[in-house]
């Protein structure tokens, strides 16, 4: 019987690619914090999640503490961020927000790596027959 890695790993390999791209965008924002007229950007994860989900696969919240389908973050369209307070030179990068988003993205990247590691561990256990 063949192993279907797409089913075994789910959306996590694509999530790693998107998280890597988001890290680049957020790092670019931080690097241009003092560039006049620079507009902070981020990725739209909702669009890609909707495209990657099968049409018959519906998500529902079964417990109050669970993440609702609308709270999921996975996507790729680069969008401009609306600043809470832009500077006089037109720059919309807010260091504290960019640093928080970068840290959040790093944690989500690590979570995807752990999910993939767990999937491979499960597959290795099944192959060994333990």
Q: How far apart are CA 89 and CA 62, in angstroms?
A: 48
Give the count of beta carbons closer than 10 Å to the beta carbon of residue 26. 25
Look at residues 22, 39, 29, 19 and name the one whose alpha carbon lies nearest to residue 86. Answer: 39
Q: How far apart are CA 68 and CA 96, in angstroms?
A: 27
pLDDT in tens, 9-57: 777 788 888 888 889 999 999 999 999 999 999 887 667 656 665 554 5
Residue reference for tokens 């961020």: 81
Residue reference for tokens 């797409």: 6
Please state whether the predicted TM-score (pTM) of the whole model is above 0.75: no
Average pLDDT over residues 64-71: 48
């Amino acid at each position: 019987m063949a192993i279907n890695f797409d089913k075994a790993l789910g959306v996590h390999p694509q999530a790693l690619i998107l998280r890597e791209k988001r890290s680049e965008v957020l790092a670019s924002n931080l690097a241009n914090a003092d560039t006049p007229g620079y507009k902070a950007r981020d990725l739209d994860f909702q669009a890609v999640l909707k495209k990657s989900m099968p049409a018959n696969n519906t998500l529902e919240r079964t417990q109050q503490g669970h993440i609702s389908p609308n709270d999921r973050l996975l996507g790729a369209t680069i969008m401009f961020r609306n600043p809470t307070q832009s500077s006089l030179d037109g720059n919309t990068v807010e260091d504290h927000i960019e640093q928080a988003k970068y840290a959040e993205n790093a944690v989500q990247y690590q979570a995807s790596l752990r999910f993939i590691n767990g999937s491979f561990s499960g597959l290795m256990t099944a192959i060994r027959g333990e």
